[in-house]
Amino acid sequence: DAGITQSPRHKVTETGTPVTLRCHQTENHRYMYWYRQDPGHGLRLIHYSYGVKDTDKGEVSDGYSVSRSKTEDFLLTLESATSSQTSVYFCATFGQGMSSGANVLTFGAGSRLTVL
């Protein structure tokens, strides 16, 4: 997980409140991603970014928005949280791996969100 920091790591909120999750990277990777992980579903892509201010939707983007104002930060916002958005959220970057030197997808440690 070195080089990718997610915050907060845990959050409990109420239905209808806005929530922002932050992903910070120190690897200077161009590509960044937000996934959600739910039991029985594996990981599903929410949104991704291919550069500063360049973002696009993934397969489960409804109810989520993102912003990337600088290379190192990628924010995921739930405008009005719902119970169906209770999940573990993972940020990832795509670029040269620290050990292999090849391009790899590297994940943060995750943010666990509970919406009551």
Q: Using CB under 8 A, list all residues that contact another protein.
A: 1, 4, 31, 33, 40-45, 48, 56, 58, 90, 92, 94, 97, 100, 102-110
Shortest separation between residue 105's beta carbon and another protein, angstroms: 5
Nearest to 62 by CA among 41, 85, 39: 85
Q: Which is nearer to another protein, 18 or 105 (CB)?
A: 105
Number of residues that make up the chain: 116
Q: Residue 102 gets which letter from DSSP?
A: S
Identity of the residue, 20 or 112, whose beta carbon is nearer to another protein in the bound complex: 112
Residue 113 CB, nearest approach to another protein (Å) = 14
Write out the two tokens for 38: 């739910």
Check: CB of residue 98 under 8 Å from CB of residue 110.
no
In angstroms, the CA 44 to CA 58 distance is: 8
Taking the least distance from each CB to another protein, the nearer of 85 and 93 is: 93
- Identify which of residues 78 and 110 has a Cβ nearer to another protein in the complex: 110
Smallest separation (angstroms) from another protein to the CB of 104 = 5
Q: Least distance in Å: CB of 99 to another protein?
A: 8
Q: 13 with 114: CB under 8 angstroms?
A: yes
Q: How many Å apart are CA 55 and CA 20, to the nearest integer?
A: 16
